[in-house]
Structure 1
Amino acid sequence: MECFSRAQDGFHRLKKRLRENSFDNLVCLVMVMPSLVGFEITRKKIFVPFWIIHLSLLTYVYGVGSLVYQAKHARVASDFIKSFVNVSILVLTVNNSYWWLTHRDLLRNVLRKANASDKMTIQAGLFVDKHQHSLSIIKRILIIFYFINLTNEFTSYLPKRAELNEKTFSMTPCVGIKPLTSSPQREVCIVLTSLQELTIVIVVLNFQTMMLLLIAHTSTMYQLLSDEIMTFNTILTNPSNYDLLKERLGVIIKRHILTLDIIKDIRVLYSIPMGINFGSNAVCMCFFFFLEPEEYFNFMPISMYCFIVFFLYCFLGQRLTNAAEVFSRAVYSCGWELMDIKEQRAISIMLLQSQKEVDLLAADLIPVNMLTFASTSQGIYKFVTVFKL
């Protein structure tokens, strides 16, 4: 009865989280899987056994398995291409694992600032419905992203990996455990391989969802700031409301400073990891088109994941840039010419800050926007077309 009661309470809490639209609730949704294995961001210390198991299996299954396959079994170009896809997955996972282990303090600080910005927006009391609607959209995107990738993993990729066919993924499964055709060696290998894939999903998928949450929420804060500062045009029609304008202006300036600080931290958090992920995703998508048609199905889950994540990076980066540009135009159009000198100076300073380009850079070099997505996709198409001729 006690176990049933706990399960029922857990179900009700999950149901409440799925209905509630708040920043704290969105963070809790992102942290569902990490909390199960002990590295949710609210903990001051990580759960060391999970990372020992994860990194050990990653080295053994993907590292040693790819190395042995390339050294002993790879014969033709397609074998090496499929094997290098596994290497890119290894690099991607190591990169995201390192991020979780080394950026916890900064990530916790960014979440605290984002939460403070969200609360200040609620306290302003303006566009509450739009705020709730925006958070609801972010929540739906998070859930859809989870659903697509987990469905992709558990219905396509993981069952194929559990078959332990060396030729399917061009990677030697469970080096040193032989023969894999008899028990218990085969069952042990299936458990090790499946456990490794599950730990990869937890680490990599939640890296992506946390990035999605932070960038999408920051874009929303920019959009709400734009709407709020445009209300100054209405306030200025009645001189008796000027004190209200000064009060709102002070709050908007504080929120804008906080938003710029969050963007600065996001750049530090994601610049290098995003650059490495860009490279690994591009390699996976490029190599996919070199496979034989009958091998497409086996690697389709990996290719879909790389494409979705690559698009998501560029879409979020473009959305943040667009939101910052809208805010800059709103500051200029807020009716500052009708304000007193003191408020005009404050608006002038905020306008100068808002006109600075707000963008994300992968590896501090590549702009993360839709132009990059289009040009990279075009480059991959041209590269593959030339080699296919």
Structure 2
Amino acid sequence: MLVFAGTFIYVGTLSQLVYLVQVFPDKIETFKALNCISATSVPLSKFFFMLTSRSRLKTVFELSHHGLSSIPEGSAAKERMLSTLRRARYASWFVVANQALTHVTYLLMPLVFTVFGNDRYLPTTPGETYGLSPKYETPFFEITFVLTCVATAFSAINQTGYIVLFITLVTHELGHFYAITQALDDIHDILSKKEKSCNNPDEETSDDSIDELLIFCVKHHQFLMHYHSKIRVLYKVIFGAHFLSMTIVLVTTLQTMNVWDVRNTILTGVTGIMPLFLYCFGGELLISAGLEMSAAVYSCGWELMEAKQAKRSSYHLFK
């Protein structure tokens, strides 16, 4: 993977820095080079994030396993959690297909144009690949195309792995919110049924079930806050780096839209902006799940508890 990373830096970042020095202060070409440098910094930052965060990711994965196993088997909360994880699996496969199709198209289009046309084409990068100029002559074209393929594969692998990881971790956190909400809804259902049938022979069992569900909610919420803090520490640096990089990419893309190849615009839009969309969308889902849980706390039926049961529940929760 380090060879892939080195090739990516050579074809993308290094070559574009050299080109930037050569064309500065030409406005359009400078914006093109800045666009490419900023866009390549996104998959590169993901690679270093994955490489340097192994120990922290291991801790988070262990917490994910612990959190999943701490939800009672056969409960509605467990089923809600597993249902959320299944939806994340579908989203992850969509990301894999999206990234594969985008990057293959990025390479396939110039190859088709070269095979069936009279000229040689390469995936769009401003200027030349450093040290291989002129790149449209044999053998430099073949060498440059192979290097570009390797660099594109590096980008696709890192983009896909990073996004799937983010989806997985956010989904685990969402699932815990939903599990707590489901447990609170179960408490409401039990209390409502108990109120309708005061002579229920299983009344004591229902009280015990309520105690267990309340204890689960409080203990699992404590775990959720700890889990969230670990993820926040893990991602806080790379979030800022990506938003800064993509701000530059978007500005430079707007400046060069009329003179830039459409393939570059599509690749930038799909592979570069997707992480920002997922950050915002994932954050919105977490906020909504938190609000849903808060509403469930207020509407779980506290007022339907008998004084004795409320005191016993408080004792179990805060002992």
Fold in common (TM above 0.5): yes
Equivalent residue pairs, number: 297
> Deviations 1:16-38 (Å, cap 9, x if unpaired)?
xxxxxxxxxxxxxxxxxxxxxxx
- TM value normalised by structure 1: 0.69
Q: Which residue of 1 aligns with 2:163?
A: 208
Are 2:30 and 1:80 aligned?
yes
Q: Does the 8 Å CA contact 2:110/2:123 hold for their aligned counterparts?
A: no
**In 1, distance between residues paired with 2:82 and 2:47?**
33
Q: Which residue of 2 aligns with 1:12?
A: none
State the structure with more CA Rg. Answer: 2
Q: Which residue of 2 aligns with 1:306?
A: 272
* Aligned counterpart in structure 2 of residue 138 of structure 1, from 83, 88, 98: 88
**In 2, distance between residues paired with 1:158 and 1:278?**
29
> Deviations 1:252-284 (Å, cap 9, x if unpaired)?
322222211111111011111011111212222
* Aligned counterpart in structure 2 of residue 217 of structure 1, from 147, 155, 172: 172
Identity score, percent:
20
- Name whichever of 179-188 and 284-293 sits farther off: 179-188
Q: Which residue of 1 aligns with 2:152?
A: 197
Are 2:206 and 1:256 aligned?
no
**In 1, distance between residues paired with 2:47 and 2:257?**
32
- Name whichever of 72-81 and 272-281 sits farther off: 72-81
- Name whichever of 111-120 and 80-89 sits farther off: 111-120
Q: Which residue of 2 aligns with 1:276?
A: 241
CA 1:322–1:203: 2 relative to 1, 3 Å: same
Task: Give the 5 Å matches for 1:70-149.
Answer: 70-73=20-23, 76-121=26-71, 123=73, 125-127=75-77, 129-149=79-99
Partner letter of residue 273 of structure 1?
Answer: I
Query: Aligned to 1:170, what secondary structure does the other structure show?
Result: coil
**In 1, distance between residues paired with 2:126 and 2:134?**
18
**In 2, distance between residues paired with 1:182 and 1:91?**
29
- TM value normalised by structure 2: 0.83
Are 2:9 and 1:59 aligned?
yes
**In 1, distance between residues paired with 2:111 and 2:125?**
8
> Deviations 1:82-121 (Å, cap 9, x if unpaired)?
1111111232233212211211111111112112222333
Are 2:278 and 1:322 aligned?
no
Unmatched tracts of structure 2, length 5 or more: 115-119, 195-199
Q: Does the 8 Å CA contact 2:111/2:122 hold for their aligned counterparts?
A: no
Q: Does the 8 Å CA contact 1:288/1:303 hold for their aligned counterparts?
A: no
Q: Which residue of 1 aligns with 2:126?
A: 170
**In 2, distance between residues paired with 1:287 and 1:157?**
23
CA 1:179–1:195: 2 relative to 1, 3 Å: same
Q: Does the 8 Å CA contact 1:160/1:298 hold for their aligned counterparts?
A: no
**In 1, distance between residues paired with 2:297 and 2:139?**
68
Q: Does the 8 Å CA contact 1:166/1:172 hold for their aligned counterparts?
A: no
**In 1, distance between residues paired with 2:278 and 2:286?**
12
Q: 1:216 Cα deviation (Å)?
A: 2.1
Q: 1:302 Cα deviation (Å)?
A: 1.0
Unmatched tracts of structure 1, length 5 or more: 1-49, 350-389
Q: Does the 8 Å CA contact 2:128/2:135 hold for their aligned counterparts?
A: no
**In 1, distance between residues paired with 2:172 and 2:99?**
21
**In 2, distance between residues paired with 1:165 and 1:94?**
25
Q: Which residue of 2 aligns with 1:290?
A: 255
**In 2, distance between residues paired with 1:311 and 1:181?**
37
Q: 1:286 Cα deviation (Å)?
A: 2.5
* Aligned counterpart in structure 1 of residue 190 of structure 2, from 232, 235, 250: 235
Q: Which residue of 2 aligns with 1:187?
A: 142
CA 1:262–1:124: 2 relative to 1, 3 Å: farther
Task: Give the 5 Å matches for 1:26-65.
Answer: 50-51=1-2, 53-65=3-15
**In 2, distance between residues paired with 1:232 and 1:292?**
57
- Name whichever of 237-246 and 324-333 sits farther off: 237-246
Partner letter of residue 272 of structure 2?
Answer: C
Superposed CA RMSD: 2.7
CA 1:129–1:166: 2 relative to 1, 3 Å: closer
Are 2:34 and 1:69 aligned?
no
- Name whichever of 311-320 and 187-196 sits farther off: 187-196
- Name whichever of 94-103 and 70-79 sits farther off: 70-79
Q: 1:80 Cα deviation (Å)?
A: 1.1
**In 1, distance between residues paired with 2:212 and 2:27?**
67
* Aligned counterpart in structure 1 of residue 105 of structure 2, from 141, 155, 159: 155
> Deviations 1:128-159 (Å, cap 9, x if unpaired)?
55444322221111111221222111113564
CA 1:294–1:214: 2 relative to 1, 3 Å: same
Q: 1:60 Cα deviation (Å)?
A: 1.6
**In 1, distance between residues paired with 2:283 and 2:207?**
37
